[in-house]
């Protein structure tokens, strides 16, 4: 027993920790060296994941965009085609239809959704509202529902012959609307799904931003004789300006990625008989994985990136102008 006790006591001397050893020798450099070397270890999981799932696919698909790639070919899988993929895509009518559809769906979903969300937020901000937590939770529920489930249920609502919406339309004596074949109506249907799913989420963002507006502003406004509408117009809305920009940017990024809703509604990968429901992402998927033209798919991906860059630039300019207006 005594032996063990002495051994244990002597262990720190026999195998001193490298940290403890270094620290007294080089005071001041200990923590710095720790950051320098061990820091890499701590960020390694992210860097590793980013390299594998972020950078590598980007580099790979950039290469792919300039090649014709036949993955099942035994001898010649890769053949250099230069800019041919891009030429093909830009000459393809479906690309332009998909681009138009994407922006139409984006506009139809983003703007009504923003108005609704601000409206909901204004109601929720009401001091005299009962069961606030309940209403906030209810608003967020659509957002945690599976996209596919939403799309299937809405697809039934929008059914041409027996859908609930057309039953109502038919009850008032109007002809049924074909929410799949009719281009504009189908976009409204998809926009309705997106709005239903995201309006609650955006309401909460607007609500948080509204709650940050100091009550004094409202008090002084009401002292000046401003009614509820004027308070909203001249106090709430200006206070929300940055949030509106944020929601707009996030909505644009989401709008360019719309996929599951139109796919489920159309029921086909090419977005219906005249591609009326095809979006950019659907077009990308259809070209790469249904028509097995990976080069085309990669080229579409790059084109989408360029579109996002252009939109971000516009956003940046608009935001800066808004900010400079604030300073005035």
Binding site for other proteins (CB under 8 A): 71-74, 77, 88, 92-93, 155-156, 159-163, 175-176, 178, 180-181, 267-270, 272-274, 289-292
Q: Which is nearer to other proteins, 28 or 175 (CB)?
A: 175
Cβ of residue 261: shortest distance to other proteins, in angstroms? Answer: 16
Closer residue to other proteins (CB): 21 or 146: 146
Least separation in angstroms between CB 155 and other proteins: 7
- Name which of 31 and 148 has its Cβ closer to other proteins: 148
**Is the sign of the CA dihedral 261, 262, 263, 267 positive or negative?**
positive
CA distance 241 to 21: 57
Q: Looking at beta carbons only, is 86 or 206 nearer to other proteins?
A: 86
The tokens describing 48, both together, are 């590793």
Hey, which residues does 79 pair with through a beta bridge?
Answer: 68
Closest distance to other proteins from the beta carbon of 289 (Å) = 4
Judged on CB neighbours under 10 Å (0-12, 13-18, 19+), 105 is buried
* CB-based contact 140:204 (threshold 8 Å): yes
Give me the count of residues in the chain.
Answer: 328
User: At 69, phi and psi to the nearest 5?
Assistant: -120, 120
Shortest Cβ distance from residue 151 to other proteins (Å)?
Answer: 12
CB of 269 to other proteins, least distance (A): 6
CA distances (Å), origin 38, targets 7, 22, 34, 309? 31, 15, 6, 36
Whose Cβ is closer to other proteins: residue 290's or residue 322's? 290
Phi, psi of 131 (to 5 degrees): 60, 45
Smallest gap from residue 49 Cβ to other proteins (A): 21
Token output for 102 = 């994407």
- Contact between residue 161 and residue 167 where contact means Cβ atoms under 8 Å apart: no
Q: Which is nearer to other proteins, 27 or 175 (CB)?
A: 175
What is the C-alpha to C-alpha distance for residues 172 and 199, in angstroms, rounded to an integer? 29
Nearer to other proteins, 120 or 158 (CB): 158
Q: Least CB distance from residue 226 to other proteins, whole Å? A: 50
């Amino acid at each position: 027993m005594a032996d063990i006790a002495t051994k244990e006591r002597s262990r720190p001397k026999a195998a001193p920790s490298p940290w403890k050893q270094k620290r007294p020798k080089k005071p001041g450099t200990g923590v710095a060296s720790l950051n320098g070397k061990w820091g890499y270890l701590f960020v390694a999981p992210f860097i590793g994941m980013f390299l594998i799932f972020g950078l590598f696919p980007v580099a790979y698909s950039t290469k792919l965009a300039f090649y014709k790639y036949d993955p099942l070919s035994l001898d010649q899988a890769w053949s250099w085609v230069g800019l041919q993929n891009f030429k093909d895509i830009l000459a393809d009518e479906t690309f332009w239809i998909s681009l138009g559809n994407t922006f139409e769906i984006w506009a139809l979903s983003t703007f009504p959704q923003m108005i609704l969300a601000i409206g909901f937020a204004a109601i929720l901000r009401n001091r005299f509202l009962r069961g606030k937590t309940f209403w906030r939770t209810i608003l967020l529920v659509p957002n945690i529902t599976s996209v596919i489930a939403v799309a299937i249920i809405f697809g039934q609502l929008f059914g041409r012959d027996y859908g609930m919406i057309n039953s109502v339309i038919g009850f008032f004596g109007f002809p049924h609307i074909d929410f799949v074949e009719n281009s504009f109506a189908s976009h409204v249907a998809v926009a309705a799904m997106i709005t239903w799913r995201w309006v609650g989420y955006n309401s909460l963002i607007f609500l948080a931003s509204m709650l940050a507006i100091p009550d004094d502003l409202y008090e002084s406004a009401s002292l000046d004789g401003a009614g509820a509408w004027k308070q909203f117009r001249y106090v709430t809305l200006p206070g929300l300006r940055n949030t509106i920009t944020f929601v707009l940017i996030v909505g644009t990024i989401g709008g360019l990625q719309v996929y599951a809703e139109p796919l489920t509604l159309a029921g086909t990968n090419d977005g219906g008989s005249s591609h009326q429901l095809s979006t950019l992402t659907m077009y990308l998927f259809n070209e790469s994985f249904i028509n097995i033209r990976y080069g085309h798919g990669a080229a579409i991906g790059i084109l989408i990136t360029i579109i996002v860059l252009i939109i971000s630039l516009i956003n940046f300019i608009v935001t800066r102008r808004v900010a400079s207006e604030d300073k005035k």
